[in-house]
Amino acid sequence: AQKVTQAQTEISVVEKEDVTLDCVYETRDTTYYLFWYKQPPSGELVFLIRRNSFDEQNEISGRYSWNFQKSTSSFNFTITASQVVDSAVYFCALSDFGGTDKLIFGTGTRLQVFP
Amino acid sequence: ETGVTQTPRHLVMGMTNKKSLKCEQHLGHNAMYWYKQSAKKPLELMFVYSLEERVENNSVPSRFSPECPNSSHLFLHLHTLQPEDSALYLCASSQELAFADTQYFGPGTRLTVL
């Protein structure tokens, strides 16, 4: 069965702190894709990253970085030097070959960055 | 316009009203989706269309009726809704209906049923 767990319901930090959002997934497939989306208060889900299961290299994009570890089935997301504009709900999602092309979302982590 | 657009952004309707939500994608994609996002619940996939054909209907009540007249447009027709249908309705599109493809979302329609 496919499942995505985001155990952190809500995180609060002060601006300039680093913060890591956890994502743990379950799948029986060896071929799958992992995604992170950001949902600001406006409501739109903004695509951040897609990673396939064969590429375990960590990725950095500006203040954002992602740590993919197949050994622990985790795909964690770190924001360095957080800013108020980072306040949003962040969703991790999984899509695998056996999942009839569905995107399985976690329940999201609400990040609040205070000035 | 770029990306995925949705209209209206906000909608308040009575239980006896009939209304429609509209989604348009400007990405040249072939697959489109409707999702429902309720407070404190995970995103729920409602309908999936690929090349204008419905390929998924996740046990959605018949008071929700989708329509996909072409690969760029998707509608969700609403009638005799219940208060529990109040939610954010999100439209998304992807290049193809394939697990490897990224879904791009619109800004959503926030629906309130009185």
What are the two backbone dihedrals, phi and then psi, of residue A15, each rounded to the nearest 5 degrees? -45, 140
Taking the C-alpha atoms of residue A49 and residue A99, their distance in angstroms, rounded to an integer, is: 20
Residue A99, pLDDT above cutoff 60: no
- Chain A touched by B88 (CB under 8 Å): yes
Residue A100 has what pLDDT?
Answer: 60
Chain A residues in contact with B45 (beta carbon < 8 A): 102-103
Residue B54 has what pLDDT?
Answer: 84
Q: Check A102 against B105: CB less than 8 A apart.
A: no
What are the two backbone dihedrals, phi and then psi, of residue B85, each rounded to the nearest 5 degrees? -85, -5
> Which candidate in B36, B43, B111 is best for mutational testing of the A interface (most A CBs within 10 A)?
B43
Taking the C-alpha atoms of residue B82 and residue B14, their distance in angstroms, rounded to an integer, is: 9
Residue B1 has what pLDDT?
Answer: 59
Taking the C-alpha atoms of residue B9 and residue A69, their distance in angstroms, rounded to an integer, is: 39
Residue-wise pLDDT tens digits, A66-79: 999 999 999 999 99
- Chain B touched by A105 (CB under 8 Å): yes
Name the strand (E) or helix (H) holding B87: strand B87-94
Q: Closest-CA residue in chain A for B55?
A: A100
State the average pLDDT over residues A76-89: 97
Which among B97, B104, B110 has CB closest to A101? B97
Asked if the bond preceding B61 is cis, omega within 30° of 0, the reply is: no
Residue A56, pLDDT above cutoff 80: yes
Query: What does the pLDDT profile of chain B (114 residues) look like in tens digits?
Result: 579 999 999 999 988 889 999 999 999 999 999 999 998 788 999 999 988 888 877 789 999 999 999 999 999 999 999 999 999 999 999 998 877 889 999 999 999 999
- Chain A touched by B97 (CB under 8 Å): yes
Residue A98 has what pLDDT?
Answer: 61
**Min Cα separation A15/chain B (Å):** 26
- Tell me the pLDDT band of A64, cut-offs 50, 70 and 90: very high
CB atoms within 10 A of CB A82: 22
State the average pLDDT over residues A98-110: 82
Q: Among A111, A107, A104, A112, which residue's Cα sits nearest to residue A27?
A: A104
